[in-house]
A = this chain, B = another copy of it.
Amino acid sequence: MTQYCYDYPRPAVTTDICLFTVVDDDLKILLIRRGLEPFRGSWALPGGFLQETETLDQCAARELAEETGVQGAHLEAFATFSAPDRDPRFRVITAAYFALVPAQAHALASGSDADEARWHSMAKLPKLAFDHRDIIRAAREALIARLDREPLALALLPARFTLTQVQKVYEAVEGQPLDKRNFRRSFLARGWIQETGDMERGRQRPAMLFEKI
């Protein structure tokens, strides 16, 4: 911290949010098509400028709700991006967050400053604005790294879920198949979930429904 009076130009500060979900065994990210320059027409991460009275965490939650209608997602900061020329207009540094929601029908509201919001498969991303491709790559790495330490997979699932659904979340995020018996044994051993006693009935043998402890 300096002691002299501070009158240098200040950078703008934003949050950008990588909102993930898993649909049909596929990891998807929510992108917004930009309506204005720069990068008009390109896809970009939801996000926006920090306001005077809010923390970065609050900013990320607010911008996500405003631009996509998603509330209550699991939000976690994972990195900051600060290259001086990352925004062609003026200096902007951004705190990058990842967010997780269950793959249900979300009312994907087009917010005030976003034309169109759509889920994109992580397998084939479109051309992206700014350095958002770098941010997304870092987000996926952060997500994979934390998936084994925290019960993040549960944030990608509805309140009640089957073990096979959990396994498919892991497979989608990590991009590789897992052994069924080993996965069940080790995941149950974490003590993150418990049986509900109810069964999910489908076309085949019913599956036990679990819930977060």
Contact A82 B50 (CB under 8 A): yes
Contact B83 A55 (CB under 8 A): yes
Q: A10-B12, A13-B11 are in contact. Are A56 and B4 (CB under 8 A)?
A: no
Kindly identify which residue among B8, B36, B56, B130 contacts A51, using a CB–CB cutoff of 8 Å: B8
A79-B11 Cα distance, complex, nearest whole Å: 18
Closest chain B residue, CB of each to CB of A38: B1
Fill in one digit per residue for A92-135: 1 if any B CB lies within 8 Å of its CB, else 0.
01010000000000000000010000000000000001100000
Residue A34 interfacial (CB < 8 Å) = yes
Fill in one digit per residue for A29-52: 1 if any B CB lies within 8 Å of its CB, else 0.
000001110000000110111111
Main secondary structure of the interface of A (DSSP, over half): loop
Tell me which residues across on chain B come within 8 A of A95, comparing CB atoms: 80, 82
Closest chain B residue, CB of each to CB of A37: B3
Of residues A2, A52, A79, which shows the largest number of chain B Cβ atoms within 10 Å of its Cβ? Answer: A2
6 nearest A-B pairs in the assembled complex, by CB-CB distance: A3-B36, A10-B10, A56-B82, A55-B82, A2-B48, A3-B113
Query: What is A's interface to B at a CB cutoff of 8 Å?
Result: 1-4, 6, 8-14, 16, 34-36, 44-45, 47-57, 77, 79-80, 82-84, 87, 90-91, 93, 95, 113, 129-130
